[in-house]
């Protein structure tokens, strides 16, 4: 939907107040840029903590930090990296010197193959071919045919629209990608980046992932991971940054209704009944939360695209083993209900620590999200035993499951066309969040970009 209008400049109050709704990556990125530019900012967050869908907490039994789900970033997350640099947190990230992903595959019962995808410093798309050359789970024919995917992305020249109605599976089939390379490489990438199965995920977003992640520099393709829990990576730092510049961050501030008059947002009413007036409002709420805060059907009619979105879940299973099970930092499991195993001790720089804390991830977890936690834990332990022989003689002494039912927007075919821009038909009301039309999948980078772009629009309208 395109609801953008050519708005006249906003009348200036002496010190305009910008309200930002939601304290996830998008809201905090907007608040940081506006506060840095000297604007009066008030960020309202419903929960008693910041971070939205990317936060961490302390496990009561082990004292370890648990992320609501392990997050991976890439070198191509330029906006996120700049945001973290601004708030003084870049040092909390670990950058792979060379793009590398380890895959494990059970060739026969008990016999596990370790295959490494490691990109050499060659120009794209040869870079991708070089990476695939080391993948023992794929034959040479498949490796060479994978070049067609790189070339297809190149010839799109950013014109991805014609892929909007095609699934990842259909697109890869049309490019002659065998079942084997789809199962052992492309599907893993699609599920990890789009959080949906390739049979329903749209090819336009996948082409974008390949373009940004594999068709540019070696640094852009490298994985980037936080050495600290997600909340410790950005929430406190961003809050301090905003407050040090005169802005305010209010927790437990549940926005019940956004108030509109004529073609303007005039403020919000909180669940407590408090009313807050504002000169401009940026919603950095997820699509389903925004829907609940629209005051009436007349306003809701301008946001009808919200009804077209669905969410895709992610399930994370944390397991603790007395004795180390793996020394790999993270590994992809092929032909397994678990996609990734993260070795939290290694990630946080304490590889030799006992017990070993593993975080296992199931993306596009439509089935797993409704399974009982005991079943998920037993399945996850079974998979760890299957892929890591060192786990076969022990059982996890503790487990913790996190289910995120609304982890991301479901990137099914056609969804991209419904994603709204940042401007709305209301002169001073803007939309941020990973689900808006960022040209990226619903990720941290999309969220940060959307928040920063909304801040830029507000600054243009109010003057910098």
Binding site for ligand FAD (CB under 6 A): 21-27, 44-47, 52-54, 68-69, 71-73, 254-255, 284-286, 289, 293, 314, 316, 404, 407-408, 433-434, 442-445, 447
Give the nearest distance from C-beta 112 to ligand FAD in angstroms: 24
Give the nearest distance from C-beta 224 to ligand FAD in angstroms: 10
Q: CA 198, CA 188: separation in Å to the nearest integer?
A: 9
Give the nearest distance from C-beta 242 to ligand FAD in angstroms: 15
Q: Is the dihedral of CA 448, 454, 458, 459 positive or negative?
A: positive
Give the total residue count for the chain.
Answer: 464
Cβ(430)–Cβ(280) under 8 Å?
A: yes
Q: What's the CA dihedral at 429, 433, 435, 437 to 10 degrees?
A: 60
Give the nearest distance from C-beta 27 to ligand FAD in angstroms: 6
Closer to ligand FAD by Cβ: residue 146 or 457? 457
DSSP state of 88: T
Residue whose entry in the numeric block shows the structure tokens 């993260």? 342
Give the nearest distance from C-beta 155 to ligand FAD in angstroms: 27
Closer to ligand FAD by Cβ: residue 361 or 391? 361
SS3 of 165-224: the string is CCEHHHHHHHCCCCHHHHHHHHHHHHHHHHCCCCCCEEHHHHHHHHHHHHCCCHHHHCEE
Closer to ligand FAD by Cβ: residue 23 or 324? 23
Q: Which residues partner with 261 through β-bridges?
A: 264
Nearest to 153 by CA among 80, 207, 105, 101: 207
Q: What are phi and psi of 138, to 5 degrees?
A: -130, 140
Closer to ligand FAD by Cβ: residue 115 or 285? 285
Q: Is the dihedral of CA 114, 115, 118, 122 positive or negative?
A: positive
Q: What are phi and psi of 103, to 5 degrees?
A: -115, 140
Q: CA 17, CA 119: separation in Å to the nearest integer?
A: 48
Closer to ligand FAD by Cβ: residue 34 or 166? 34
Give the nearest distance from C-beta 46 to ligand FAD in angstroms: 3
Closer to ligand FAD by Cβ: residue 171 or 234? 234
Q: CA 153, CA 145: separation in Å to the nearest integer?
A: 14
Closer to ligand FAD by Cβ: residue 209 or 391? 209
Q: CA 462, CA 9: separation in Å to the nearest integer?
A: 7
Cα-to-chain-centroid distance, residue 25: 10
Give the nearest distance from C-beta 334 to ligand FAD in angstroms: 19
Cβ(81)–Cβ(225) under 8 Å?
A: no
Give the nearest distance from C-beta 55 to ligand FAD in angstroms: 8
Closer to ligand FAD by Cβ: residue 226 or 345? 226
Give the nearest distance from C-beta 347 to ligand FAD in angstroms: 13
Closer to ligand FAD by Cβ: residue 173 or 243? 243
């Amino acid at each position: 939907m395109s609801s953008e209008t050519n708005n006249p400049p906003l009348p200036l109050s002496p010190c305009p107040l910008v309200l930002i709704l939601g304290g996830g990556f998008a809201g905090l990125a907007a608040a940081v840029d506006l506060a840095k530019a000297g604007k009066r900012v008030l960020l309202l967050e419903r929960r008693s903590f910041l971070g939205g869908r990317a936060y961490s907490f302390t496990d009561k039994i082990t004292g370890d930090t648990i992320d609501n789900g392990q997050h991976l970033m890439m070198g191509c997350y330029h906006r996120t990296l700049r945001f973290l640099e601004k708030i003084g947190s870049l040092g909390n990230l670990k950058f792979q010197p060379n793009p590398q992903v380890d895959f494990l595959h059970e060739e026969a019962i008990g016999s596990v193959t370790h295959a490494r995808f490691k990109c050499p410093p060659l120009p794209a798309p040869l870079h991708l071919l070089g990476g695939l050359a080391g993948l023992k789970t794929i034959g040479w024919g498949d490796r060479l045919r994978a070049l067609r995917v790189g070339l297809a992305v190149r010839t799109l020249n950013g014109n991805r629209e014609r892929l909007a109605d095609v699934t990842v599976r259909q697109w890869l089939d049309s490019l002659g990608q065998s079942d084997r390379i789809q199962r052992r490489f492309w599907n893993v990438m699609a599920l990890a980046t789009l959080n949906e199965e390739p049979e329903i995920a749209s090819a336009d977003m996948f082409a974008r992932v390949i373009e940004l992640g594999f068709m540019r520099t070696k640094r852009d393709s490298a994985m980037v991971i936080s050495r600290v829990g997600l909340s410790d990576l950005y929430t406190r730092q961003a809050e301090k940054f905003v407050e040090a510049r005169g802005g305010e961050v209010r927790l437990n501030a549940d926005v019940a209704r956004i108030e509109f008059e004529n073609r303007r947002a005039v403020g919000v009413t909180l669940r407590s009944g408090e009313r807050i007036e504002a000169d401009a409002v940026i919603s950095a709420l997820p699509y389903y939360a925004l829907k609940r805060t629209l005051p009436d059907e007349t306003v809701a009619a301008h946001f009808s695209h919200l009804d077209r979105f669905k969410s895709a879940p992610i399930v994370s299973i944390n397991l603790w083993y007395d004795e180390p099970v793996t020394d790999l930092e993270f590994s992809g499991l092929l032909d397994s209900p678990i996609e990734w195993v993260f070795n939290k001790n290694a990630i946080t720089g304490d590889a030799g620590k006992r017990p070993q804390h593993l975080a296992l991830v199931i993306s596009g977890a439509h089935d797993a999200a409704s399974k009982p936690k005991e079943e998920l834990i037993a399945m996850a332990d079974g998979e760890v035993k299957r892929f890591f022989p060192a786990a076969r003689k022990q059982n996890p002494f503790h487990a913790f499951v996190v289910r995120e039912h609304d982890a991301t927007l479901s990137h099914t075919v056609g969804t991209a066309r419904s994603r709204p821009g940042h401007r709305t038909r209301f002169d001073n009301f803007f939309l941020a969040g990973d689900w808006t039309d960022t040209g990226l999948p619903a990720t941290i980078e999309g969220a940060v970009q959307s928040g920063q772009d909304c801040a830029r629009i507000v600054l243009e309208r109010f003057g910098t």
